[in-house]
Structure 1
């Protein structure tokens, strides 16, 4: 996870997609306050426009403030497609120039693809594999442990299509898949994974339910397809006032004890409890959208 320590994407709660061939929208997407913006060369760009869209990214990103560039990922085309090699070379140059933080790889299934990407972007670039298939799920532990991987993300809609599922809104059938992403992230010592999209951006009730499910399931972020989704998701995945009050009490108690054993509310405060409190406070330190 080289390059991850200083990127705001490690604790980002929202990742907003924006088409790569709409440069006028790139700065607007960042202005929504999304923790991360994913400039999409894959699904959002027609095959005949991919080369032009790719070629225009450097100019678009160079006009952005440096702090905004650290929140940028580019979703390239999947390994095995006609555009993958050119995409990989392009994002390598963008990372080297400090224009983006890293890359999202769709349909991540093979560690070899991630290793090639890691070599292209260098140690300063981060990778976000998108798990969208049975093959990706099968290889999930190896993908999570691959070089430069920052977080795992779940492509819930493509995953359903790959397996021929017909899930209701609650996506009960995907509970074990989401748990697999969480477990693989934990084993690889990655930040909490990124949950998939809510396809109808106008359905606020569905979005709230999906975000609540993500938080209950241990996910730390969610993919967004419309700016209106950013603020409610950011709020839903953040710590509550009660959790923050508890976290501050934990940190105060451990500091007062000078590193010794301490008890709070009848419970021993050990290292995992302190780490949880620190994570909640770190999440709260993020600037709101």
Structure 2
């Protein structure tokens, strides 16, 4: 699974290498080694060292969240990643335009970036960010966005912000964006409901802050058995020359949607998830 098509992306503190294995074994498509919010300033060095060791050992499918480009820790984070034998995708927080992207690429050329949009400025610049050549995908930092704007979840403001990321991603031919977290760790039903809603809005993955959130997130972004049956019926009917299925006209967009459902289902089946 790559940063382009991961459904579940699980945060783990970068200074807790004892948790890396459990995170990889959680079923998450990708694990985010977090050097930013999850690590105290005095522990950043330990986190960088753990990240370097993890990549040297080839352990797991990782993305690294560095500190923001304006942070005093940013240069050291990038230097640690530059020493890695293999390139690693980077989650860049507080992206508000090309400036932050360029700051990262100046230090880590060729890096594929999961651009975390979590401020009003970032949302308003979503298409500019999505258009950057290094952007693999957009992600929504919903908690920080609420802090920045004062908007609470759910609200028209947060729904509108999510729509901007979905539209920007589609306009620039990027994969569907990654939605923010469900902060409640003890409510898997809420996580499942949040994830299902995000899927209907055009998101194709979510951030997770606890291993228990991985399964409901993966389910929400994996075609159900009913969806897969529908898609296969559509494709079979088109090959047979039929004009409709269950009263639905079989035009080009319906065929494309059905083919996409089958591709997603097969991709996740190949990954064993």
Question: TM-score when scaled to structure 2?
Answer: 0.90
Cα distance in 1 between the residues matched to 2:208 and 2:50: 23
**Alpha-carbon RMSD:** 2.1
CA contact (8 A) 2:7 2:204 kept: yes
CA contact (8 A) 1:62 1:99 kept: no
Where structure 1 has 5 or more consecutive residues not aligned to the other structure, the ranges are: 1-6
Cα distance in 2 between the residues matched to 1:255 and 1:64: 44
Cα distance in 2 between the residues matched to 1:271 and 1:74: 39
Report the counterpart of residue 86 of structure 2 in structure 1. 98
Cα distance in 2 between the residues matched to 1:111 and 1:271: 36
Cα distance in 2 between the residues matched to 1:276 and 1:118: 35
Where structure 2 has 5 or more consecutive residues not aligned to the other structure, the ranges are: none
- Residues 250, 126 of structure 1: CA spacing in aligned structure 2 closer, same or farther, 3 A cutoff? farther
Cα distance in 2 between the residues matched to 1:121 and 1:278: 36
Report the counterpart of residue 155 of structure 1 in structure 2. 141
CA contact (8 A) 1:239 1:284 kept: yes
Of 254, 260, 273, which aligns to 1:279? Answer: 260
Report the counterpart of residue 190 of structure 1 in structure 2. 174
Cα distance in 2 between the residues matched to 1:24 and 1:162: 33
Give the CA deviation at 1:58.
1.6
Cα distance in 2 between the residues matched to 1:270 and 1:37: 39
CA contact (8 A) 1:41 1:54 kept: yes
CA contact (8 A) 1:224 1:230 kept: yes
Give the CA deviation at 1:160.
0.5
CA contact (8 A) 1:27 1:64 kept: no
Cα distance in 2 between the residues matched to 1:255 and 1:87: 53
Cα distance in 2 between the residues matched to 1:99 and 1:21: 20
Matched, 1:249 2:230: no
Report the counterpart of residue 74 of structure 1 in structure 2. 64
